[in-house]
Chain A
Amino acid sequence: DQQVKQNSPSLSVQEGRISILNCDYTNSMFDYFLWYKKYPAEGPTFLISISSIKDKNEDGRFTVFLNKSAKHLSLHIVPSQPGDSAVYFCAASTSGTYKYIFGTGTRLKVLA
């Protein structure tokens, strides 16, 4: 039972353009969402989060959008840079629980 899904396993984008990574979830109890970036042989590093009381959160080049009715969130990276090339995971949790459920990841390649 995959509660958090990232349906695109990979994405290629030209440097300077927008990267849009998508994530869908099925559990309506999720109320906190995070995006992590992972380079090979390293642990995931936190990028940005959003709570269900918001529909948008912005941090520099990274913006996360949350559509609760569609149970969908997306991460926008503008402008994309070659150093952004990594695997991106979305994760979700429910207040009061102690675990985060991760999606399968999307491999982003930013072409110079």
Chain B
Amino acid sequence: EPEVTQTPSHQVTQMGQEVILRCVPISNHLYFYWYRQILGQKVEFLVSFYNNEISEKSEIFDDQFSVERPDGSNFTLKIRSTKLEDSAMYFCASWTDETGELFFGEGSRLTVL
């Protein structure tokens, strides 16, 4: 069964450092998303991406965040200068309008010290 894969599964970083989280969406999907879940809180929308550009972003997705699809298969989330409050589980998801379902990856846990 096709799946969304994410790397790394866990990253520990120092405050102020740059972090890149990587995702390989399902190959025939055209819409890509990043969500995050801070421990004990709800799953929050960060950004959606279609046709090589951001479709929509939330207020969480400020100038410290960026997304890129560098090579047609990977979909990355970069946090330029991490803060303690960026510690969360980050989920990548992809979507096709054939089924209307969002398929999520297993998540990348980011710990900012």
Q: Is B75 an interface residue (CB 8 A)?
A: no
Stretch in contact with the other chain, from A11-19, A44-52, A70-78? A44-52
Are A98 and B100 in touch, CB under 8 angstroms?
A: no
The complex places the Cα of A97 from the Cα of B57 at a distance, in Å, of 11
CB distance from B1 to the nearest CB of A (A): 11
Number of interface residues of A (CB under 8 A): 22
How far apart sit A96 and B81, CA to CA, in the bound complex (Å)?
33
Minimal Cβ-Cβ distance residue in A for B91: A43
Q: Which has the most chain B C-beta neighbours within 10 Å: A43, A45, A51, A97?
A: A43
Tell me whether A34 and B56 are in contact (CB under 8 A).
Answer: no
Please state if B106 and A46 are interface contacts (CB–CB under 8 Å): no
Say whether A99 contacts B48, CB under 8 Å.
Answer: yes
Contact of B33 among A46, A89, A99 (CB under 8 A): A99
| Chain A residues packing against B (C-beta within 8 Å) | 32, 34, 36, 41-46, 49, 51, 89, 91, 97-105
